[in-house]
Amino acid sequence: MRRDGVTWVSYLSLALFTFFLNIQGNILPFLRDAFGLNYRWVTFHPAALAVGLILSGLIGERVIAAVGRRHTISIGLLGLVVGALLIVVATAPVVSIAGCFVMGLVGGCVLVTVPGLLVQWHRDSSSAALGEANAFSYAASLLAALSTSFFLAVGIGWRGGLLLGAVLVVALLVFARSLPLPEQAPAGAAARGGLPMAFWFHWLALVGVVGVEQSTLVWAPAFLEGVKDASRSIAATGGAVFSAGMLIGRMSSVPLLSRIRTMTALYGSFGLLVPAFGLYWVAQSPVLYFPGLFLLGLGTALLYPLTLALAIDQSGPHGNTASARASLASGVAVLAFPVLVGTLADNFGLQIALTVLPVVGAISLACLLIGHSLGRAETTPRAGGR
């Protein structure tokens, strides 16, 4: 797989989007203290970003059609900076919430554009390219956490991480200013109509796998501390263990997919989830639940990028639309699933609530299998050569 200028701009754009997406979790406690917010007001920040992502997923392909991929990515990157600066200068929660909304709505143009671009540019190795892109994105999320800690340690404060992200965006825009990005060819008569049914089953699978990933990441520390009686430091380490499994899993995408098929990798990933979740769920000691979390991260790592690659590939000439709707799937999952688990936890306890995750994983696998079967049927020539 070639890693040229187009590939690196795509990787780094997606990584910077993830940087700003995940730095939220690190700065929310400081926003809460600065404005004296209760938990309800705090949750408006990630909710605003998710709503922005959903809207971006609904209109993203129109933006691409109007201004092209290059300008859409640039608009998205600048939207991330504007949203971050609104949070930096905020003197009231409505301003910081607006900044999160701008990050989702305008910054979401990056998430709308880059996957379709990578699938077109790396047609024969799109799954590996998306897997590697998401590995860089996950590394960027770790950088977001580390940068916040660093700037706090040196006395600059939590805003330093957001400003670092803004500087990195400007550097990327300068690097990419003269790099031509491929546009999707205009759709012909054969491309008229909507996305095929196979895509929508893959879309449902996307919602599920993103929901499993986000819910595990969000609720792992609370589960370890509240259910397993781990100390707060041990519980925080659990989230890092899951992230390490995710990062290693996504970095393995290129060598792994050069040896096995995409669907085989997905079957293996789903198969790993069951014993990994079981170990994590029943273990009473870090000696056991840490390996469970690591394996859970490893099994979850490739579900999103590989399902995304298959979904866009199933869309045929509607790649920009498919990429936008995939962004919509992420927004829906980020908005709904952590809240769903939290609501179930309030009523039945967190340990029972988390059992929804393997159920969602099984439903996602079923949707993936149906979508894959429909996709094969739609591309099989009819009898008589028609």
Report whether pLDDT(258) > 60.
yes
Rounded Cα–Cα distance for residues 52 and 31 (Å) = 20
Q: 219, 350 in Cβ contact below 8 A? A: yes
Q: At what angle do helices 159-175 and 126-153 cross, to 10 degrees?
A: 140
* Cα four-point dihedral sign 287, 288, 293, 294: positive
Q: Categorize the per-residue pLDDT at 213 as very low, low, confident or very high, splitting at 50, 70 and 90.
A: confident
Q: How many Cα atoms sit within 13 Å of 324 on the Cβ side?
A: 24
Q: Categorize the per-residue pLDDT at 193 as very low, low, confident or very high, splitting at 50, 70 and 90.
A: low
Report whether pLDDT(242) > 70.
yes
Q: What are the backbone dihedrals phi and psi of residue 181, each rounded to the nearest 5 degrees, phi first?
A: -110, 135
Neighbour count for residue 329 (Cβ, 10 Å): 26
Q: What is the pLDDT of residues 281-331, one digit of tens each?
A: 888 888 888 899 999 999 998 998 899 888 888 887 777 788 888 888 888
Query: What pLDDT is recorded for position 380?
Result: 52
Report whether pLDDT(273) > 50.
yes
Mean pLDDT of 351-364: 91
Structure tokens at 149: 């800690």
Q: What burial letters (b/e) apply to 214-230, b meaning 16+ CB within 10 Å?
A: bbbbbbbbbbbbebbeb
Rounded Cα–Cα distance for residues 336 and 50 (Å) = 9
The one-character DSSP state at 37 is -
Rounded Cα–Cα distance for residues 86 and 94 (Å) = 10
Rounded Cα–Cα distance for residues 26 and 363 (Å) = 32
Selected residue with higher pLDDT from 321 and 72: 72
Rounded Cα–Cα distance for residues 43 and 41 (Å) = 5
Secondary structure class of 293 (helix, strand, coil): helix
Please report, rounded to a whole number, the percentage of residues in the chain having pLDDT higher than 90. 28
The lowest-confidence range among 68-72, 346-350, 373-377 is 373-377
Q: 337, 211 in Cβ contact below 8 A? A: yes
Q: Is 253 left (phi over 0), alpha (psi -120 to 50) or beta?
A: alpha
CA-nearest of 329, 359, 344 to 60 is 329
Report whether pLDDT(43) > 70.
yes
Mean pLDDT of the chain: 85
CA distances from 382 to 22, 158, 197, 255, 377 (A): 47, 60, 18, 36, 9
Query: What pLDDT is recorded for position 189?
Result: 39
| Residues of each domain in the chain carrying CATH 1.20.1250.20 | 1-176, 195-379
Selected residue with higher pLDDT from 2 and 291: 291
Tell me the pTM.
0.80
Q: Classify domain 195-379 at the CATH superfamily level.
A: MFS general substrate transporter like domains (1.20.1250.20)
Mean pLDDT of 159-165: 92
Query: What pLDDT is recorded for position 73?
Result: 92
Name the residue type at position 217: L
Report whether pLDDT(132) > 50.
yes
Query: What pLDDT is recorded for position 84?
Result: 93
CATH topology for the 1-176 domain? Growth Hormone; Chain: A; (1.20.1250)
Report whether pLDDT(233) > 80.
no
Please report, rounded to a whole number, the percentage of residues in the chain having pLDDT higher than 70. 93
Mean pLDDT of 359-384: 78
The lowest-confidence range among 190-199, 225-234, 268-277 is 190-199
